[in-house]
Amino acid sequence: MVGPALAVNGLTKAYDGRPILQGVSFSVAVGTATALIGANGSGKSTLLKCLIRLVEPDSGAIAMLGRDVCALAPPDLRAFRSGVGMVWQRHNLVPRLSVLTNVVQGVQARRTGPRGWFQSIAPAAVRAEAMACLDRVGLADRPLARVDSLSGGQQQRVAIARMLMQRPRFILADEPDASLDPQSGEDVMRLLLDLVRQEGLTLVVISHRLEHTLGYSDRILGLSQGRISLDTATRQADAASLRHFFDHEGSTP
């Protein structure tokens, strides 16, 4: 039996007494791409961070990759997080270092044993894996370029290659296309969907562009008033009914 990759039940989160998530429930099947949409300030980023407890939920249950996330003690939480790749709007690569060095450093995120463990492995194996990850994102020809010499879209692809060094089973992406030009943004969305289709990874991606939501997901979840108010297969989605999820929400009641 294979359960869902993610099941969220009754998740709540308030900041300083102001409710943001007010009972969020949904589940995500293995090997699918889910777009999370919602107006500015509706709590999309908060929800994504709660899933791996970068933000601590107030209540509710999260089962992800077979773990009861809210019950994990720190060492287990670290191990669990290593299986979840994050992609942010702004990558945190080291700009003056090479592409390959940045990607090699991604191996740290999956190192959960004693510190010395990795030093004993031939660095060549890590470098070869980093090159394979670069090839996966279409940048195998630029390993020695400094990150700050690349375009924004290339830099985001380096960040994805570095994340792949974690060998993640699940990817959470928070507006990975937001600071890119339209073509590069689309390339990044397609790359993430390819990882779902070709590698069987599971993706939840926050999307702020209607076209990307429709073009690069299997399923759409809409967040409003602290709850999932829309849950639809993408192929059955009606663009007009999605539009209000892309407007500004204003103040949360």
Ligand X SMILES: Nc1ncnc2c1ncn2[C@@H]1O[C@H](COP(=O)(O)OP(=O)(O)O)[C@@H](O)[C@H]1O
Stretch that binds Mg ion, among 40-48, 100-108, 134-142, 177-185 (CB under 5 A): 40-48
Which token pair is 54? Answer: 């970068």
In terms of CB distance, is 40 or 108 closer to ligand X?
40
Q: Which stretch binds Mg ion (CB under 5 A): 45-53, 55-63, 100-108, 177-185?
A: 45-53
Q: Which does 42 bind (CB under 5 to 8 A by kind): Mg ion, ligand X, none?
A: ligand X
Contact partner, 43, from Mg ion, ligand X, none, Cβ < 5-8 Å per class: ligand X
Interacting residue ranges for ligand X, rule: CB under 6 A: 15, 20, 38, 40-46
Given a contact cutoff of 8 angstroms between Cβ atoms, the answer to whether 245 and 230 are in contact is yes
Nearest residue (CB) to Mg ion, 32 versus 45: 45
In the list 32, 34, 42, 45, the residue contacting Mg ion (rule: CB under 5 A) is 45
**Contact string (CB under 5 A) for Mg ion, positions 221-240, x = contact:** --------------------
Nearest to 23 by CA among 232, 206, 224, 253: 224
Q: Measured between alpha carbons, how far is 186 from 153 in angstroms, rounded to an integer? A: 9
Write out the E strands in the chain.
Answer: 6-15, 18-28, 33-37, 59-64, 67-68, 84-87, 170-174, 202-206, 219-224, 227-233
Evaluate whether 24 touches 38 at the Cβ level (below 8 Å). no
32 counts as binding Mg ion under rule CB under 5 A: no
Binding residues vs Mg ion (CB under 5 A): 44-45
